[in-house]
Chain A
Amino acid sequence: MLKYLARRLALTLPTFFALMFVTFIAIRLVPGDPVEVRTGERGIEPERLAQFRHELGLDQPVWKQFLDYVGHLMTGDFGTSVVTNEKVLKEFFALFPATIELSMAAMLLAVSIGIPAGVLAAVKRGSSFDHVVMGASVTGFSMPIFWWGLLLIMLVSERWGLTPVSGRIDLIKYYFEPVTGFMLIDSVLSGQSGAFTSALHHLVLPSIVLGTIPLAIIARMTRSSMLEVLNEDYVRTARAKGLSPFRVIGLHALRNAMIPVVTIIGLQIGTLMAGAVLTETIFSWPGVGKWLIEAIGRRDYPALQGGIMLISSIVILVNLGVDLLYGTINPRIRHGR
């Protein structure tokens, strides 16, 4: 197991290094001088300009700048926003809990509907229920989620008045300092009555929107994995032994069918992060996705650079974790290669 871990880590390191290189180069290629962004268009004296360039390290040779950048990243310095003058790392992790909360709610929704729907569709293969699940799955998989979000706001929030349009909580009624950054937990901790319900109401539509694509993928994956397993000898044996269908499907088949599904769930983090950018923008959800888009609008390239570096690192690490976990669940993978 240790050997496997070492090999997987060794494969990940070059990816990290290349990621640093790409974000470094990309930001150098962006039109416009970072010093000009700071000083504005009026222009300043040459001495001040030189001083600024020196402060930002821009008077160094490019390779030296890159080494500096890598050195800073190693010590956890992801740069400083040119707009707010805050450390990128600090800004990112202040907003990140909002994105995690939304992503977890979306995933919970996707798993709790997708797996039962997939299992039922497989068991009742060819039935009208199966057709509905497969049709809904293709639609969900093809959904432009930014439109889906607007549509839900239009119907559920505007027409029926059931949920709020944007934000994480009703800021007019409730205000408290963030403790964990997770609104559902913080609202309970605040002790204000109604705060938790308000936070929950705000979470409903965004998590439906963000959960739609993972839900479609999980339902489809569960169905096909289940169909494969249902043909296996051990399932036939379990049936022949006279076990109840519930035990055969729930115990013998489902456990084995879940192995690929668990992997798919883990690998959805990239989809979730990409979806979070759109979902957060639509619902004014103050997470890292919306922050990233705003950074582009404000030409805050250090924030963009640091943010992309952080998001990608998290995705790489989670995928690595899923891989390792998968190796533990399924020893065939570990010893196979």
Chain B
Amino acid sequence: MAVEAAAGNVPGTGPPSSLTVFWAAFRENRGAVVGLTIFCVVVLLAIIADLVAPYSPYVQFREAVKLPPVWAAGGQANFPLGTDALGRDMLSRLIYGARISLFIGSSVMLVSLAIGIQLGLAAAFAKGWIDTAIMRTMDLIIAVPSLVLAILIVAVLGPSLANTIIAVTIVYLPRYVRLTRASALGELGKEYVTAAQVAGVGPLRLMFRTVLPNCLAPLIVQSALGVSEAILEAAALGFLGLGAQPPIPEWGSMLADAREFIRSNPWIVSLPGLAILVTVVSINVMGDGLRDALDPKLRRS
């Protein structure tokens, strides 16, 4: 396996690098390795979509509308997974859909991680009213059911891909803030922090260089799971017609378009959902492995 070889050849001859240790622990969980492999394939497909997708996701083949996949009766080899109601190639739309879903998932994760770390550290370090204001706001966001809040935000901003990302980012922000604050508070009482303070380290350096690196393990795990949650949430919004708008090949909105074909053309319904499920499962399984490898204390079983 390519990934395995790359990680096994960590240069250096001294004590095993932290990456080697991590990989050895991660590899113990066979499911996690499978998850990582599948996830890498999806990421690769998303990156090289222009090269591997047989057609553009938007081009309509009027003479080949609602073709079944190649293994079913009436399928054609030039449309391996069939075509949708407008004659667009399902395979190409699914591949480009991976690009959109992963883009949503990773941008939601990156933005909420970046903002979450800053707010969480600010709350932990400033204490007092800043802490209260930040944490009460997060409590409010948590109080509203995730999808309902996302719906409210999209209703205000209007449905689009960008607004989906904004809405889902706001919904998942509190997890990162709470996690950062909790781990930072845990670190603040430790001696190395006091030592750094005594040595005259400024507050910003103390926050980001001294304390933050020691809070990263749970944040990395949450980030992995955050990508899959964001993909699911965005797909749900797309399905309700409040996310990416047609003809964008977003998996959720592809499903919304396909609802009327449940009876006649089941593959138009089955395939986008299967793509979502496989991607999300692979990320979640990988996240479990990450948690076990990074933080033995968090090990559940």
CB pair B155 A304 closer than 8 Å: yes
B238, closest chain A residue (CB): A146
SS class, residues of chain A in contact with chain B: helix
List chain A residues, Cβ under 8 A from B162: none
CB pair A278 B143 closer than 8 Å: no
CB pair A274 B255 closer than 8 Å: no
Interface size class of A (residues with CB under 8 A): 35 or more
Q: 8 Å CB contacts to A: which residues of B245-259? A: 252, 255, 259
Smallest beta-carbon distance A83→chain B, Å:
15
CB pair B239 A312 closer than 8 Å: no
B158 at the interface (CB under 8 A from A): yes
Q: 8 Å CB contacts to B: which residues of A18-40? A: 18-19, 22-23, 26-27, 29-31
CB pair B145 A142 closer than 8 Å: no
In the complex, A22 Cα to B139 Cα: how many Å? Answer: 13
B272 at the interface (CB under 8 A from A): yes
List chain A residues, Cβ under 8 A from B139: 15
List chain B residues, Cβ under 8 A from A315: 143-145
Q: Which of A22, A147, A277, A301 contacts B140 (CB 8 A)?
A: A22
B 73-86 to A, binary, CB cutoff 8 A, 1 in contact else 0: 00000000000000
CB pair A271 B276 closer than 8 Å: no
Which one of A22, A223, A227, A271 has the greatest number of beta carbons of chain B within 10 Å?
Answer: A22
Given A151-B269, A227-B301, A312-B144, answer yes or no on A142-B281 (Cβ-Cβ < 8 Å): yes
A 113-157 to B, binary, CB cutoff 8 A, 1 in contact else 0: 000000000000100000000000011011110111011011000
In the complex, A314 Cα to B266 Cα: how many Å? Answer: 38
Q: 8 Å CB contacts to B: which residues of A284-316? A: 292-293, 296, 301, 304, 308, 311-312, 315-316
Q: 8 Å CB contacts to A: which residues of B130-162? A: 136-137, 139-140, 143-148, 151-153, 155-156, 158
B278, closest chain A residue (CB): A142
Interface size class of B (residues with CB under 8 A): 35 or more
Smallest beta-carbon distance A291→chain B, Å:
12
B258, closest chain A residue (CB): A150
List chain A residues, Cβ under 8 A from B144: 19, 308, 311-312, 315
Smallest beta-carbon distance B61→chain A, Å:
25
B228, closest chain A residue (CB): A142
In the complex, A151 Cα to B259 Cα: how many Å? Answer: 10
Given A273-B145, A292-B151, answer yes or no on A150-B263 (Cβ-Cβ < 8 Å): no
B279, closest chain A residue (CB): A142
Q: Supply 8 A–B pairs (Cβ within 8 Å), ascending by A.
A: A26-B156, A144-B235, A150-B259, A153-B262, A154-B262, A293-B240, A308-B144, A315-B143
Closest 10 CB pairs of A and B: A147-B273, A274-B147, A142-B280, A273-B145, A274-B145, A270-B145, A224-B300, A142-B281, A312-B144, A144-B276
